[in-house]
Amino acid sequence: MAVDTEMELRIHQSSSKDVVSGSQHFQVELCLSVDQIKQGLIKEIGCRNFAVLLAIAAFMDIQTSRAFPNVEEIAEITGLSKPTVIKSIQELEKVEIAGKPIIKKIKVSTSAGHFKSIYFFTGETVSEVPKEFTAKDAIALFCEYYEQEYGISYNVHWSREVSIVRNKLISQYSEEQLREIIRIAVTKYSMFSNAPEYPTPTIGMLCTWLANKAAGMLWQEQKEQQEYQNKIAYAEKVEAIDSAAMLDSL
């Protein structure tokens, strides 16, 4: 028996709040189709390759279906050697489920002159190689929002702040997440702090507590948006059922 439908690999995000400490907790889960597993999904991909696929998927960004793990990270969480991981990735690029590839890899150059791999889970052809979102890009975006919000330019200490943005933010968030975190951190700063000695946000704040606050608000916005979409879908479903019942009564 073979898997007869395109592979299903979903990401589910959820958040909760500790009512005692007030701390926010976030959780991301990978969801697989039980039917596809029973049909032989693991067998078609191969046990070793399946483990590598899940390791890559653990780094996937929900908005873009891209993942950026390096070979060392994949080897660490799978227990495989780096040569074995490299071989598995090469084999995964050739695997098709129901006639469609499950993963595609491209390489992009970094600002440091190295190359990094980007993995796509859409199975679509990538027509344009994406530009890496660097620490300088993040700082430039912060400065753009800052000037729009406060009417003055932000004074960047490039030698110090590029390093902390790279280590604290670029390594922790995807490009899409970080763009939204920066937007929220700057434009809604007054919701996070009312200290008169710190009337405006700084990149130092962003790289410590402010990014966490903004990330929490981002998750809440996404949750509310998803709940709203669910309500719309439910209302449309109820309306369709009511319409059908009305027709049946005629």
Each residue of 4-63: pLDDT tens digit?
777 888 777 777 777 777 777 767 778 888 888 888 889 989 999 999 999 998 888 776
- Confidence (pTM): 0.56
Residues 88-110, mean pLDDT to the nearest whole number:
84
The rounded distance, in Å, linking the Cα atoms of 26 and 11 is 13
Specify the pLDDT at position 182.
95
Tell me if residue 81 falls in helix, strand or coil: coil
Question: Does the pLDDT of residue 210 top 90, yes or no?
Answer: yes
Q: Are 56 and 65 in contact (CB under 8 A)?
A: no
Domains along the chain with CATH numbers: 9-120 (1.10.10), 135-225 (no CATH)
φ, ψ of residue 123 in degrees (nearest 5)? 75, 5
Q: Cβ–Cβ contacts within 10 Å for residue 213, how many?
A: 20
Specify the pLDDT at position 72.
92
Q: How many percent of the chain have pLDDT more than 90?
A: 37
The string of DSSP letters for 130-171 reads PPP--HHHHHHHHHHHHHHHHSS-----HHHHHHHHIIIIIT
Question: Does the pLDDT of residue 148 top 80, yes or no?
Answer: yes
Question: Does the pLDDT of residue 146 top 80, yes or no?
Answer: yes
Higher pLDDT: 9 or 243? It is 9
Furthest CA-CA distance within the chain: 76
Token pair listed for 48: 């070793």
Q: Are 156 and 163 in contact (CB under 8 A)?
A: no
Closest CA to 6 of 43, 35, 48: 35
Q: Cβ–Cβ contacts within 10 Å for residue 214, how many?
A: 26
Q: What integer best gives the mean pLDDT of the chain?
A: 83
Q: Are 30 and 5 in contact (CB under 8 A)?
A: no
